[in-house]
Amino acid sequence: MSESTQNIADLRKSYERAELNEEASHADPLQQFDQWLKEAIAAEVPEPNAMTLATVAANGRPSTRVVLVKGYDERGIVWYTNYDSRKGQELAANPFAALQFHWVELERVVRIEGVVEKVSTEESDAYFHSRPLDSRIGAWASPQSQVISGRSVLVANAAKYGAKFLLQPPRPPHWGGYRLKPDNWQFWQGRKSRLHDRLRYTPQDGGSWLRERLAP
């Protein structure tokens, strides 16, 4: 084993910032998520809205990438992307996914699983037109997940679509939103001696949630 590998193996962190218990947590996981996300924003952690999205291809091979949450309510968690990308193709073949938020500075993780569907055309249009102009042009310029010969392809595409659409690029037909409807939430709070707090929420009949503590 190399010296650098040994050093990595020796890395340790003691988690002592906060706790998560059944009495103080919300009965509704969406409210718990809302509280934690707002606390992450208030704490000015880097990109508090960044989440890892995990999908699985038709052949059973998983993949992950980081995307940004753009909305959430009782219907689910929303993000936007290119429908022709690898994640779009995998969601078309297998419409289940997992999300993970990791707020390192707060020693917190939120994991969310569920079924995914596209948001409405109206929602995608509204969000697309709220984006900066460069981002709207970028949605046209990038053939996401496809092999390209170099960065010059993206620059040339951006120039082409910028000249074509000027200040009013329409939403590309291959670009829009997804919504994950959660059926499993987990909230993890780091604790001392690796005895972390971990609560899981699963849906019950009547719209309530079962809240259970899991061993870390």
Q: How confident is the model at residue 135 (pLDDT cuts 50, 70, 90)?
A: very high
Q: How confident is the model at residue 14 (pLDDT cuts 50, 70, 90)?
A: confident
Mean pLDDT over each residue of the chain, to the nearest integer: 95
Q: How confident is the model at residue 4 (pLDDT cuts 50, 70, 90)?
A: low
**pLDDT value at residue 26:** 97
33 φ/ψ angles, rounded to the nearest 5 degrees: -60, -45
Q: How confident is the model at residue 195 (pLDDT cuts 50, 70, 90)?
A: very high
**pLDDT value at residue 176:** 98
Q: How confident is the model at residue 3 (pLDDT cuts 50, 70, 90)?
A: low
Structure tokens at 124: 């995608």
The rounded distance, in Å, linking the Cα atoms of 209 and 27 is 7
Q: How confident is the model at residue 81 (pLDDT cuts 50, 70, 90)?
A: very high
Q: How confident is the model at residue 10 (pLDDT cuts 50, 70, 90)?
A: confident
Does residue 189 register a pLDDT over 80? yes
Does residue 124 register a pLDDT over 70? yes
Does 191 participate in catalysis according to the annotation?
no
- 3-state SS, residue 110: strand
The rounded distance, in Å, linking the Cα atoms of 121 and 136 is 16
- For residues 158-183, give the mean pLDDT: 97
The rounded distance, in Å, linking the Cα atoms of 139 and 175 is 7
The rounded distance, in Å, linking the Cα atoms of 172 and 174 is 5
Does residue 15 register a pLDDT over 90? no
Q: How confident is the model at residue 2 (pLDDT cuts 50, 70, 90)?
A: low
**pLDDT value at residue 1:** 52
Lowest mean pLDDT among 2-6, 7-11, 59-63, 72-76: 2-6
Sequential DSSP letters for 18-56: ----TTTS-SSHHHHHHHHHHHHHHTT-SSTTEEEEEEE
* Active-site choice (194, 198, 211, 213): 194
